[in-house]
């Protein structure tokens, strides 16, 4: 497939990667086979010396992951640059410690390798990025013991049928004060999206479990002095907001086009937050602007649709009608550069102590 990928290694480091499994023995799995403890797949991206990558193998998606993602994204093939991105296995981390950013994928079609270009970009600029795969809620999770967890098709995300659909369309079209729009969103989520509200704290616990694993097993590689950052796409972005509210260790967060689900009645946000989205979803994403005592940056991308904020943007012929509908008409390289720069400036200020304006 002839699709141009953006330059996603712009920092002074090359990128190393490793994949492992985290088991939460405190929680029983309630999805999929509904047995055994909750397991999570983690893909770590981290800075490495460019000299260390010589002769090393690149990360490569498994054949099964490629097959599952092609089906989930409704494409016949994936660009070689996504199947074998420019990050390397079995390479030691560069000398020193680096801030940690947690990345959570979107619900259903997402996976740990669904936004590899952004994760690599951040790692090349001096971050350890932990991309978390949520078993049975990702398109696919692959564990160290060779077992695979596919999305649980028994999951019923919404209730309300056409009533829910029309309620959401009303929200999209609303033109009112931000507090009024959010009040309608809150009513809508409580009425029709009870399942997602219930899963939000579970994904939060998934993230906190991974953080504990990283503190014990990778603590000598991570700089926790300014706290931990969180970002994610879609539902993963809502998890970033939840983590900023409920975890003292997570000190700043970003949401990439995710409806900000959650019951935050009476809570004031005290952590800096970056909200990125497309015009159509703006009214689902207003919460960070309300009830906050911390800096908020709210960025709307013109010509984008929801799926385009991930590597899915580069799985379609950009001139096709399907691409414009599924991932938006905005140029992919321009989208990546803008989204990456927003992340680098935001986390650079709050995790690295930079001030780039």
| Nearest residue to 340 (alpha-carbon basis) of 303, 310, 302 | 310
The per-residue pLDDT for range 61-71, each reduced to its tens digit, is 999 999 999 99
* Whether this model's pTM surpasses 0.85: yes
Task: Tell me the average pLDDT of the chain.
Answer: 96
pLDDT at 137: 98
Q: How confident is the model at residue 2 (pLDDT cuts 50, 70, 90)?
A: low
Give the largest Cα separation in the chain, rounded. Answer: 58
The per-residue pLDDT for range 7-33, each reduced to its tens digit, is 999 999 999 999 999 999 999 999 999
Q: Where are the alpha helices (DSSP H) in 77-154?
A: 80-83, 116-124
Q: How confident is the model at residue 355 (pLDDT cuts 50, 70, 90)?
A: confident
Report, as an integer, the average pLDDT of 168-181: 96
pLDDT at 356: 54
Report, as an integer, the average pLDDT of 255-263: 97
Contacts of 250 by beta carbon, 8 Å cutoff, 6+ apart = 102, 227, 228, 229, 230, 240, 243, 244, 271
The per-residue pLDDT for range 279-337, each reduced to its tens digit, is 999 999 999 999 999 999 999 999 999 999 999 999 999 989 999 999 999 999 999 99
Report, as an integer, the average pLDDT of 82-92: 97
- Above pLDDT 70, what percent of the chain? 99
> CA 148 to CA 144: how far, in whole Å?
9
| Nearest residue to 313 (alpha-carbon basis) of 330, 301, 296, 300 | 330
The per-residue pLDDT for range 121-166, each reduced to its tens digit, is 999 999 999 999 999 999 999 999 999 999 999 998 877 889 999 9
pLDDT at 259: 97
Q: DSSP of 307-334, one letter per residue?
A: GGGSGGGGSS-TTSHHHHHHT-SS-HHH
């Amino acid at each position: 497939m002839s699709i141009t990928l953006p330059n996603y290694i712009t920092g002074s480091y090359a990128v190393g990667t490793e994949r492992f499994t985290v088991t939460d023995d405190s929680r029983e799995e309630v999805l999929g086979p509904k047995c055994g403890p909750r397991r999570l797949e983690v893909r770590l991206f981290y800075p490495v010396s460019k000299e260390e990558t010589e002769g090393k193998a690149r990360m490569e998606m498994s054949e099964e992951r490629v097959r599952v993602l092609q089906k989930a994204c409704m494409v016949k093939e994936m660009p070689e640059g996504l199947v074998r991105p420019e990050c390397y296995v079995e390479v030691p981390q560069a000398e020193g410690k680096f801030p940690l950013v947690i990345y959570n994928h979107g619900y259903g079609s997402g996976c740990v390798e669904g936004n590899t270009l952004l994760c690599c970009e951040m790692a090349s600029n001096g971050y350890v990025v932990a991309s978390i795969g949520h078993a049975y809620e990702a398109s696919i999770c692959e564990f160290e013991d060779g077992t695979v967890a596919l999305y649980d098709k028994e999951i019923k995300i919404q209730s309300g049928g056409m009533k829910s659909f029309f309620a959401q369309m009303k929200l999209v079209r609303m033109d009112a004060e931000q507090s009024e729009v959010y009040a309608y969103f809150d009513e809508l989520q409580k009425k029709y999206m009870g399942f997602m509200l219930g899963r939000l704290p579970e994904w939060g616990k998934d993230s906190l479990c991974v953080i504990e694993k990283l503190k014990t097993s990778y603590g000598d590689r991570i700089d926790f002095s300014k706290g931990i950052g969180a970002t994610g796409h879609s539902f993963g972005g809502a998890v970033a907001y939840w983590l900023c509210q409920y975890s003292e260790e997570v000190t700043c967060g970003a949401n990439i086009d995710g409806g900000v689900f959650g019951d935050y009645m009476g809570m004031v946000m005290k952590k800096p937050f970056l909200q990125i989205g497309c015009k159509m979803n703006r009214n689902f994403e207003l919460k960070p602007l309300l009830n906050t005592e911390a800096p908020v940056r709210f960025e709307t991308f013109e010509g984008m649709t929801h799926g385009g904020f991930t590597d899915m943007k580069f799985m379609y012929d950009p001139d096709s009608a399907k691409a414009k509908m599924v991932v938006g008409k905005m140029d992919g390289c321009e989208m990546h550069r803008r989204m990456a720069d927003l992340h680098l400036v935001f986390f650079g200020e709050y995790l690295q102590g930079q001030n780039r304006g």
